[in-house]
């Protein structure tokens, strides 16, 4: 039987998202490190973290803007932001 490979991914939460999901002690420098199966998508990580309104956020993998259906790979850093504007 085919076994999926495990990968390690770091998730960083910005714009106060850590408070929204109930993380009292969160280090934004280190982020959260997850062991996931290869092929997992951004959408699944957002769901597992129980992020409210996940489709309204902006996601970046290794500094590049991505969508919810983007697959994560070994060593990726996923950053989650609330879009904001100003001037």
Q: What is the pLDDT of residues 54-65, one digit of tens each?
A: 999 999 999 999
* Within a domain: 87: no
CATH code of the domain covering residue 49:
3.10.20.30
* Within a domain: 63: yes
Instruction: Say whether pLDDT at 76 is over 90.
Output: yes
* Within a domain: 1: no
85: exposed, middle or buried (C-beta count within 10 Å: 0-12, 13-18, 19+)?
exposed
Helix ranges (DSSP H) in the chain: 17-20, 42-49
Q: Residue 18 belongs to what domain range?
A: 6-81
Domains identified in the chain, total number: 1
Residue 16: CB atoms within 10 Å: 8
Q: What is the pLDDT of residue 1?
A: 58
* Within a domain: 86: no
For 82, half-sphere exposure in the C-beta direction (CA atoms, 13 angstrom radius) is 12
pTM more than 0.75: yes
């Amino acid at each position: 039987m085919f076994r999926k490979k495990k990968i390690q991914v770091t998730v960083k939460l910005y714009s106060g998202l850590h408070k929204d999901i109930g993380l009292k002690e969160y280090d934004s420098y280190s982020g959260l490190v997850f062991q996931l199966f290869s092929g997992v998508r951004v959408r699944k990580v957002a769901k597992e973290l129980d992020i409210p309104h996940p489709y309204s956020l902006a996601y970046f993998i290794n500094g590049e803007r991505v969508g919810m259906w983007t697959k994560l790979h070994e060593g990726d850093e996923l950053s989650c932001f609330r879009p904001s504007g100003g001037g």
